[in-house]
Chain A
């Protein structure tokens, strides 16, 4: 079992905080609900799950939302919920935002800035965007000077990394497709998942091109949905008598570039550094992790992350997937809810769904999806063509 770390920094968040409540809104196509309403639905469920009232929250961390474009979403959401927190911020490092919220919540609580933090994200990308907001969501995330004039969609930055991975390591389109197929199999066991029709490798390969080497079914979904979590101090979790607190054991981040043309390597990412930092803090390594949530905005993203998170050697991600190592019975079951590819992807909140699944795996709540004996979990969130990477390691009481 994990042992306390010999970290370079004496400061650590290891085991000082725990997730005591988790809530998920309806996801997929959820018409007639604003991003704020979806977030409120998830927050209400998280509070009920934790068994506390809204006034027991003194901190709110949120990701921003395209469909409710408040400059200060966390502040707007606190008003919507009817609370006045004494610690709050709206975070925006694209897809990596989810894991950063847990890392920052843990640090804020460990450092005394807050005692009980609501981590929340919700958006309505499928049914809630007006045409101008949809356009904005499609184009504004790349630089207008050196990238956008060439017609580079967000998917294109990830596609170029995957393409280079094929060239350097012989990764195949079939291996990419297999990632989508495994995610679909997982989603078929998950109540409420957006996509549950059976899927084959041929279905993926025969779907329309989006941007080579990615077909439509190599790409994640566009969804509505929200998730929320209650994070508090380990002492408060104990005082509340929480039955299965999920402890935050380690966190790490890495920001290697902004422009895709300044990415140091197209095939090795900042996930190497962010996960190394998280492992060191948690006092464990990739072989100790029982279940993982790995950001899956595109199929090739998962293959690269399996390598950079240390689950397999560099260049072998494709074969690792082909050999069934990322599902039940394999080395590291990943995204057992179906991920962004098949469960739901409502933008920045998307990676919160990975957290929701891993938290529930560690609590033993996943029914027929349960990974037997799951004690240590990892979630890796990333965004903006691998510009942003954040890792969080979670564990049960037995891992402390």
Chain B
């Protein structure tokens, strides 16, 4: 639960036992995907079992970091005070080259530049309070 006194702070990812390796990868500039050694399924996010076949034989491999915009929405009314100064900003639903989709944010240009199927690449720069987030810019 968020305290009103912390309302100006952006929510930060809170890694758990499943996702610790993912967030460590992001801090090191890599987007790790889980590849199932039993069935070949590729998944985001990290968890203890393959969502397709249930196998526990999963391997973390860095993604290419390239993808395209499957959908997006430019936020004009922020969800709480922490994001108010950022509006308008584009939230992206990126489809990675490897298949999985992820929620992210658009950086590096005006949000009005975002279009459907636009090619984008990963940027892992420190964001709020020095914590890196996987965001995307146009290629």
Contacts and interface: CB of A to CB of B under 8 A. Distances in A.
Contact of B75 (A151, A167, A259, A262): A151
B61 interface: no
Interface residues on B, range: 35 or more
Interface string A122-160: 000000000110011011100011111111111110011
A146 B105 CA distance: 11
Contacts of A163: 71-73
Contact of A136 (B2, B45, B105): B2
Given A135-B2, A135-B7, A152 B76 contact: no
A26 B23 CA distance: 48
Contacts of B27: none
A211 interface: yes
A155 to B, nearest CB: 8
A261 interface: yes
A131 B103 contact: no
A146 B102 contact: yes
Contacts of B14: 144-145
Given A163-B72, A266-B93, A149 B3 contact: no
Contact of B83 (A147, A151, A167): A151
Contact of A146 (B45, B80, B82, B135): B45
Contact of A149 (B13, B70, B86, B88): B13
A144 B13 contact: yes
A135 B84 CA distance: 13
A366 to B, nearest CB: 35
Given A144-B11, A149-B13, A261-B101, A139 B2 contact: yes
27 contacts: A132-B2, A132-B3, A140-B1, A146-B102, A148-B11, A149-B127, A150-B104, A150-B133, A151-B82, A152-B103, A153-B75, A155-B77, A160-B73, A163-B72, A164-B116, A167-B116, A208-B76, A208-B77, A210-B76, A259-B45, A259-B103, A260-B93, A261-B44, A261-B93, A261-B100, A261-B101, A261-B103
Given A145-B16, A149-B10, 13 more contacts: A135-B4, A138-B80, A145-B45, A146-B103, A150-B105, A152-B91, A155-B77, A167-B71, A208-B77, A209-B76, A211-B73, A214-B73, A261-B103
